[in-house]
Amino acid sequence: MNTASNHDAHGPKSGIMRWITTTNHKDIGNMYLIVALAMFFVGGAMAMVIRAELFQPGLQLVNPHFFNQMTTLHALIMVFGAVMPAFVGFANWQVPLMIGAPDMALPRLNNWSFWLLPFAAVMLVSTLFMEGGAPAAGWTMYPPLVQQTGDAFPFLIFTVHLLGMSSILGAINIIVTIVNMRAPGMTLLKMPMFVWTWLITAFLLIAVMPVFAGAVTMLLTDQYFGTSFFNTAGGGDPVLFQHLFWFFGHPEVYIMILPSFGVISQVIPTFARKPLFGYASMVYATAAIAFLSFIVWAHHMFTVGMPISGQLYFMYATVLIAVPTGVKVFNWLATMWRGSMTFETPMLFALGVVVMFTFGGFTGVMMGTAPTDVQYHDSYFIVAHFHYTLVSGAVFSVFCGAYYWLPKWTGYMYDEKLGKLHFWLTAISFNVLFFPQHFLGLAGMPRRIPDYALQFADWNMVSSIGGFAFGLAQLIFLWVVIKAVRGGEPASDEVWEGADGLEWTLSSPPPYHSFNEAPKVS
């Protein structure tokens, strides 16, 4: 990389061109995180519309079609615009720092994978202003319903293509970096857990994103070029799309949760002041979860009509995932056992994940069981389940990692008081928001419907109040981040008393080009 080494001599360019042309992993990490935060608020605003409409039975604020656009876009934006880019941002910042590499292995590709993202995001949001409205058939895009989308239809498909390209390129970059650029002495089984989980996540991404891209391409050709992949009249089968979608979709949920496990596995040892318990078993458990994620997809489809043998297989395989996940949870508990724990904001969020994500895992076992799933399917129970895994799992982990690394990235301590306030408001309002949805689902309230029967009114009102509180609480996070970027108490190099790893040997903030000389790892 001759050009890269020539750049080492000087710092970043000034002005807007720095951000457009940057190949620096720290710059690109920042941009990913900023986009993720912005999209988190865009997707969150849509959730507020959903909860406002569901505050009372009847139709008050929006028409049903717009309501469905909100649920669809909320999901797509949160998954592809907020959670995934946030973790890629973490990976950009932390993977090179943690393995002692000067930068990502493919810095120019890194720039491109980032810059695909804002264009895709703008394209997706712009569908709101198109004839026929934004996509409204759910983020799962099942045909034939999704084919009733108006002018937004091809834009939806191309958004998926762009986002897919962005994630695939990002994933390739991460794998090449981890495989080729580790500091001398850092063997695979000495890598920090966060790096391990991202390595495995990146493999999931390159394996399933192309399948998803293919599936939506088939939707596109069915719509405009007369093919019949999913068109029954022409001999196709819409259920095939569901198989293809969930072959992508199930690993996708692990793409969002494995990096979360990585963050938690860094944070808990730091604040328990003990090394991670069962490191090797953590690595194997992560790999086992990733492998199992490929062979359980049809548990999302128990109700489409499946032979009993198929239901049994997918049920057993699904419930098997509880084993490696349990290994991880117990290892976190064992890490904390008799540790000298302190409860700074990152640790609070990590504990929130351990408690609430695990709860989401339990409801997952309930739904993985084919006979009971028939009741929960497409009800508010599943909505509660996946928000417990993806909000109190993935989003809490993003907060956890952000608070944990913010002092390292900015060089300033964030406001601990505000951080704790953010945690407690978030954790409490989250449970007020989503816990009642279990009851609503069990009582039979279907998801993606703007109106509901009167007996669901009370819990919906509670849930909406929790939702508004949750939304407002996130403004605190925005303020904490802005405050920490602008200044504050300078952070030490190590930042946290119990922190361990190469990134803490650098100054806070680290120099623009770090580890030009590879550190030695014993």
DSSP string, 438-479: HHHHHTTPBSS-S---GGGHHHHHHHHHHHHHHHHHHHHHHH
Contact 426, 467 (CB under 8 A): no
**Residue numbers of the site for another protein (CB under 8 A)?**
1, 105-106, 168, 171-172, 175-176, 179-181, 206-215, 218, 226, 229, 232-235, 237, 239-240, 243-244, 247, 305-307, 310
Minimum CB distance to another protein, residue 212 (Å): 8
CB of 129 to another protein, least distance (A): 28
Amino acid, res. 507: S
In whole angstroms, the minimum distance from the beta carbon of 147 to another protein comes to: 11
Instruction: State phi, psi for 290 to the nearest 5 degrees.
Output: -60, -45
Task: Report the residue number, 144 or 278, with the smaller CB distance to another protein.
Answer: 144
Query: CB of residue 240 vs another protein: minimum separation in angstroms?
Result: 5
Please name which of 49, 102, 52 lies closest in space to residue 77, comparing C-alpha atoms: 49
- CB closer to another protein, 301 vs 382: 301
In the bound complex, what is the minimum distance in angstroms from residue 288's beta carbon to another protein? 20
Q: Residue written as tokens 């009102």?
A: 461
User: What DSSP element (H or E) covers 279?
Assistant: helix 279-293
For CA atoms 106, 110, 113, 116, the dihedral sign is negative
Q: Which is nearer to another protein, 207 or 476 (CB)?
A: 207
Contacts of residue 22, defined as CB under 8 A and 6 or more positions apart, other chains included, come to 12, 13, 28, 31, 111
Q: Which amino acid is at 284?
A: Y
- Of 490, 489, 349, nearest to 425 by C-alpha is 349
Phi, psi of 412 (to 5 degrees): -125, 145
Q: Where are the alpha helices (DSSP H) in 294-395?
A: 308-320, 322-336, 345-352, 358-368, 370-376, 380-389
Distance CA 504, CA 497 (A): 10
Given the complex with another protein, which of 144 and 444 has the nearer CB atom?
Answer: 144
Could you tell me if 396 and 358 are in contact, meaning their C-beta atoms sit under 8 angstroms apart? no
| Active site residue ranges | 74, 103, 139, 166-167, 250, 252, 254, 265, 299-300, 325, 328, 447
Encoding tokens for residue 376? Answer: 């929960």
Closest among 71, 86, 109 to 39, alpha carbons compared: 86
If the CB atoms of residues 221 and 375 are measured against another protein, the closer one turns out to be 221
Closer residue to another protein in complex, CB, 183/322: 183
Q: In whole angstroms, how close is the CB of 206 to another protein at the nearest point? A: 5
CB of 164 to another protein, least distance (A): 10
Q: Which residue, 35 or 208, has its beta carbon nearer to another protein?
A: 208
